[in-house]
Amino acid sequence: MKITFEDRFYNATEIKRIFCIKDKTWRVWLYGDSSRKKINKVDLNEMGVFKLPGTNYYVVDPHKFRDWYFHRIGMED
C-alpha cells in the first residue's frame, strides 16, 4: 500500500481520515486508556506526532507516522 503525501505537516483529522483511524483509538494513543487500570500511552515522537507549545493542537509528520503505523499493524512498506 503506497500512500503519497505533500511536503507539509498534517493535522490529526486529515491523518485519521487517510488511515481510517477512529477518534477513540486516536485518543487512547495520545492520552492512554483511563477505563483500564494500565495506561497504554504511545511515544508521540516515535509516532511522528508533535504538540504545538501553548496549545492543545497536534501536527503529524505523515512519513514518520506512516512508517510507525505500518510497523504497528505488521505491514512493511
61 assigned to some structural domain = yes
Q: What CA–CA distance (Å, rounded) separates 34 from 61?
A: 27
* Confidence band, pLDDT 50/70/90 cuts, at residue 37: low
The mean pLDDT value for 10-38 works out to: 85
Report the residue count for the chain. 77
How does pLDDT run across 42-68, given as a tens digit for each residue? 788 889 999 899 998 889 999 999 998
User: Where in the sequence is the domain holding 60, given as residue range(s)?
Assistant: 47-77
Displacement of CA 34 from its chain's centroid (Å): 19
59 assigned to some structural domain = yes
* Confidence band, pLDDT 50/70/90 cuts, at residue 15: very high
Structurally, the chain folds into a number of domains equal to 1
32 assigned to some structural domain = no
What is the share, in percent, of the chain residues with pLDDT greater than 90? 38
54 assigned to some structural domain = yes
